[in-house]
């Protein structure tokens, strides 16, 4: 049986507490695409509080593994959701190129939320972390924020507002 359409890679951009994983789960439910949320994998392996001295190394390895598995699915004709955040423009460009190189279509979504909303959600979640989230204190949140680069207008993406998170996909 021959496939008539290319698989989609739904690529989720957003900062901590913006609603990325909420949106990724919604996409998963409504599209049937396979979801790759590397933070959930990290929590399964290391718990809610992974070792800070090794976090960057472990996060990099988990990101690489999730991307590799997502690309294998795409090559096999299976649509995926890559829920990673893609904080840096160069990372967004790189994933777009990788997806194109396996014959799939990249579709980027930017989950936009006010800074104070993201911070409040993150700190509230840290007080009583669910089984699939990290604990992130205020100092770390503020430090991470310095690394986040929202997508530029020249990047192709679909903007998802906080109101959109509660609506069915269109």
For residue 170, the model assigns a pLDDT of: 60
For residue 80, the model assigns a pLDDT of: 98
Rounded to two decimals, the pTM is 0.89
Cβ–Cβ contacts within 10 Å for residue 39, how many? Answer: 21
For residue 162, the model assigns a pLDDT of: 87
Residue 1 pLDDT greater than 50, yes or no:
no
Which tens digit of pLDDT belongs to each residue from 4-43?
Answer: 589 999 999 999 999 999 999 999 999 999 999 988 888 7
Structural domains of the chain sorted by starting position, each given as residue range(s) with its CATH number in brackets:
13-166 (3.40.50.300)
- What Å distances lie between residue 24 and 15, 30, 78, CA to CA? 14, 10, 16
- The DSSP bridge partners found for residue 85 are 13
Average pLDDT over residues 51-58: 78
Which tens digit of pLDDT belongs to each residue from 68-87?
Answer: 999 999 999 999 999 999 99
CA–CA separation, 139 vs 155, rounded Å?
Answer: 30
Which tens digit of pLDDT belongs to each residue from 89-140?
Answer: 999 999 999 999 999 999 999 999 999 999 999 998 878 776 677 778 899 8
- What Å distances lie between residue 66 and 2, 17, 36, 140, 153, CA to CA? 27, 21, 6, 24, 27
Q: What is the dihedral of CA 39, 110, 75, 79, to 10 degrees?
A: 90
Q: What is the dihedral of CA 154, 106, 44, 60, to 10 degrees?
A: -60
For residue 100, the model assigns a pLDDT of: 97
């Amino acid at each position: 049986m021959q496939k008539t359409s290319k698989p989609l890679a739904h690529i989720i951009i957003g900062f901590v507490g913006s609603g990325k994983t909420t949106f990724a789960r919604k996409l998963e439910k409504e599209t049937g695409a396979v979801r790759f949320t590397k933070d959930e994998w990290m929590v399964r392996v290391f718990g809610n509080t992974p070792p800070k001295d090794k976090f960057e190394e472990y996060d990099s390895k988990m990101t690489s593994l999730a991307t590799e598995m997502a690309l294998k699915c795409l090559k096999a004709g299976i649509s995926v959701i890559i829920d990673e955040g893609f904080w840096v423009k160069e990372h967004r460009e790189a994933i777009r190129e990788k997806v194109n190189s396996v014959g799939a279509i990249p579709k980027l979504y930017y989950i936009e939320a006010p800074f104070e909303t993201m911070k409040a959600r993150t700190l509230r979640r840290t007080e009583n972390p669910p089984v699939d989230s990290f604990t992130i204190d205020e100092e770390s949140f503020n430090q991470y924020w310095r690394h986040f680069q929202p997508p530029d207008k020249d990047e192709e993406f679909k903007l998802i507002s906080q109101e959109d998170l509660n609506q069915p996909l269109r």
